[in-house]
Amino acid sequence: MENLSKSFSRRQFLKYLTAATASVGAFALVGCQSNDTTGTDGTGGTGSTGSSQYADTLTYAQGADPRALDPAFFDDGESAKVACNIYEGLYRYDDKTTDVLPSLATALPDISEDGLTYKINLRQGVKFQDGTDFTADAVRVSWERQLSPNATSDMPYASFVFGSPDIGSGLDSINIVDDYNIELTLRAPSSAFLRNLAMTLAAPICSPTALNNNAGNISEAPVGTGPYSFVSWTKSDNIKLLAYADYWDTANAPKTKNVIFKVIPENATRVTALLNNEVDVIDGVDVSAADQIINSGFTLFAEDGMTINYMAFNTSAGVCTDQDVRRALAQAVNVEELVTALYGDYASPATTVMPLWMAPYASGVTPVSFDPDTAKATLAAKGVTSLTCITYTNPRPYNTKGGQVLAESIQGYLQNIGVTMTITPYDWTTYKTKVQTDPFDIAFYGWTGDNGDPDNFMNLLADPNPSMNISRFNDPDYNALIVKGLETPDGPDRDAVYLQCEEMVAEKAPWLCISHAKNLCGVNPKVNDFYYHPTGSVFLRGVTKNA
């Protein structure tokens, strides 16, 4: 198989151009400084722990608790931000792009000509944070529990990362050649598979000892090979991590001894905590607080994200099973006006599922246009006068206002055409369950791309898991396109497949695409080298704070 950088040429160039531009802005904003690393102090920290140059603790505030800290059992950004500092996978993304690099593997895999076999050499001399040696068996144990027939319903990301036998795709078997060599066999070629293996969800490798000691689930006792080890988790308050003294990658050892993830649900309270120097970095910044952060002498990290903010229609039950009803409801909403009012300059109206910098081939896709008169007539003819809606209250990377504010704005547009929408809001953790179990006509959700691959966005509407595909969209023609897209090598032919997917979403309207957001974080000016990765993960091993 040809070299990865060659096979991704056009898309990689676009991401490189975007990332390079963003990097210049990020460096100008955050004022990154030279960080000389001193020796280990014997307690797990390096750099700042042996010098008074840097503070020994960095505090990062987010809007909700993690759902879990075992990669097999979470599908949310709050979990991923913490977990990516504890665990590593065989591969990782470059610091500012989704280019794939080796991590616990020593090199990119040797892929057979038919695309079905991946030969991978594993790094030697790596130890998990509990002292267990990293070997091929740890890969097998971490992954096989998530594959059919072992996978359980509470493993939400397994089919997304490893594929599914139901559609004849994905990882079929893991063969251990020896302690440091494995062979992976796929059911069908997958252009996205290597990028999937670098994800923060499902793919990271867990300590087999820890899994054995915790009945196969280390959600509250995480053990990986990453730069930080788990210390404690006080629910709805904080998660504490400590720099791992025996971290294998000594050239990139953590520079701050202690990392605290602080849970602060309210946007305004998070901003106040930043400005009062109670925390060092906050995410989920409401656009209304952007000027306040800047004018107070703090840094606003703002960069185009790999996100989609959307309203989902329930296509499996209720009035929204009717495509004409879905399109009419979409016609009732002035998306451009809505996005400007809610997000100002920090988001752009979405005409497609993927941000156009990722998918320039979709620039000609035409979404449902704003036409309230036609919407009103259609819904009256269909007898639709009321709808039920569930949503979330917490800020999200793709929607810093929170789902309730967005739902109430949509409610106003629907009232204008004679349709009443009843809104039931939940905190984010509860909502993640409710969206799978409770009836609704409309729900609000969003997505931050995991790996820069179009499959990672478009496959959402083919996934059988309702926590991923909350609209329950199940179209055989669309599903066939998803399979074809995975089997097609990167290039114009693959782009054409995903263009068809985008066009089908616009026509059948399982979602109303609303906006693509900038990633917004508030940063203390004493913090160096902070970067919010396009995937939404927060890698903190190189981040410091001046003492």
pLDDT tens-digit profile of 433-461?
Answer: 999 999 999 999 999 999 999 999 999 99
Chain position carrying tokens 């396109």: 481
Q: Where are the alpha helices (DSSP H) in 257-301?
A: 267-275, 290-295
The pLDDT, as a whole number, for residue 30 is: 35
Write down the pLDDT at residue 429: 86
- Helix, strand or coil for residue 260? strand
E-strand ranges in 299-456 read: 299-304, 307-313, 347-349, 386-392, 420-426, 442-448
Chain centre distance of CA 149: 26
Q: What percent of the chain has pLDDT over 90?
A: 85
Length of the chain, please?
Answer: 547
Q: Summarize the confidence of residues 63-69 as an average pLDDT.
A: 94
Mean of pLDDT values over 499-528: 98
Q: Token pair of 489, please?
A: 């090598």
pLDDT tens track for 385-396: 999 999 999 888
Per residue in 18-33, pLDDT (tens digit) is: 333 333 333 333 333 3
Q: pLDDT digit string (tens) for 333-355? A: 999 999 999 999 999 999 999 99
What phi-psi label fits residue 297: left (phi over 0), alpha (psi between -120 and 50 degrees) or beta?
A: left
Distance CA 373, CA 380 (A): 11
Q: Which of 37-41, 120-124, 131-135, 363-367 has the lowest mean pLDDT?
A: 37-41
Measured distance CA(188)–CA(168) in Å, rounded: 7
Cα-to-chain-centroid distance, residue 415: 33
What digits encode the pLDDT tens for the residues 146-186?
999 999 989 989 988 998 887 777 899 999 999 999 999 99
- Which pLDDT band, with edges at 50, 70 and 90, does 51 fall under? low
Q: How far is CA 400 from the centre of its chain?
A: 15
Bridge partners, 260 (sequence order) = 59, 240
Confidence of residue 464 (pLDDT cuts 50, 70, 90): confident
- Residue matched to tokens 């000389």: 36
pTM above 0.75, yes or no: yes
Read off the amino acid at residue 505. V
Long-range own/partner contacts, residues 109-113 (CB < 8 A, 24 or more apart): 109/184, 109/194, 111/1, 111/194, 112/1, 113/1
Paired sense of beta strands 544-545 and 307-313, if any? unpaired
Question: d(Cα 359, Cα 357) in Å, to the nearest integer?
Answer: 6
**Cα separation values, 481 from 456, 466, 496, 497, 513, Å:** 14, 20, 10, 6, 20
Least confident interval from 9-18, 72-81, 205-214, 272-281: 9-18
Separation of alpha carbons 116 and 112, rounded Å: 6
Instruction: Provide the β-strand partners of residue 262.
Output: 61, 238
Q: What is the predicted pLDDT for the residue at 46?
A: 40
pLDDT digits (tens, 9 = 90+) for 135-154: 999 999 999 999 999 999 89
- Would you state the pLDDT for residue 107? 98
**For residue 374, what are its two tokens?**
């036609």
Whether the pLDDT of residue 77 is over 70: the answer is: yes
Which tokens is 247 given?
A: 């971290």
